[in-house]
Amino acid sequence: MQEPNFDKGEGLVPTVAQDEETGEILMLAYMNREAWLKTLATGKAYYWSRSRQSLWLKGETSGHVQLVREVRLDCDGDTVLLKVKQLGDAACHTGYRSCFYRKWVDGDFVAVGERVFDPKDVYK
């Protein structure tokens, strides 16, 4: 079975999650081999948390699981793209739909869009 090149990133591949319907980029996280295999086996996005140094089922706490509809690999084999159905309608722990909710405007990053949920209600 083929797999991404985990060696280049010292065991990790950056993984982009994109909303399958809207094309919106939801987040970027990292997979190790275990996360990769769990994602394929379950159809749910697993990542490797660099801060917690542990395998992480996206949505484990919030319920905002990502159902994987398509898996893509880039030309170098060192980046993965997941097209997903985002449950709960938001990927970001801040409550925004996408983690990329800050836009560069005249030298500053400005939050655009509205929060889908209040983090206080979700992470207790």
Residues with Cβ within 8 Å of residue 10, at least 6 apart in sequence: none
118 touches a second copy by CB under 8 A: no
Q: Which is nearer to a second copy, 59 or 74 (CB)?
A: 74
Mind spelling out the 3-state secondary structure of 96-117? ECCCCCEEEECCEEEECCCECC
Binding part of the chain for a second copy, among 41-49, 55-63, 87-95 by CB under 8 A, reads 87-95
- 28 counts as binding a second copy under rule CB under 8 A: yes
108 vs 112: CA distance, rounded Å:
12
Could you give phi then psi for residue 15, rounded to 5 degrees? -130, 125
- Which residue of 2, 53, 63, 124 would you call a contact of a second copy, by CB under 8 A? 2
According to CB under 8 A, which residues from 44 to 83 bind a second copy?
70-76, 79, 81
End-to-end Cα spacing for the chain? 40
Residues making contact with a second copy (CB under 8 A) = 1-2, 14, 16, 18, 22-25, 27-28, 40, 70-76, 79, 81, 92-94, 96, 99-104, 107-109
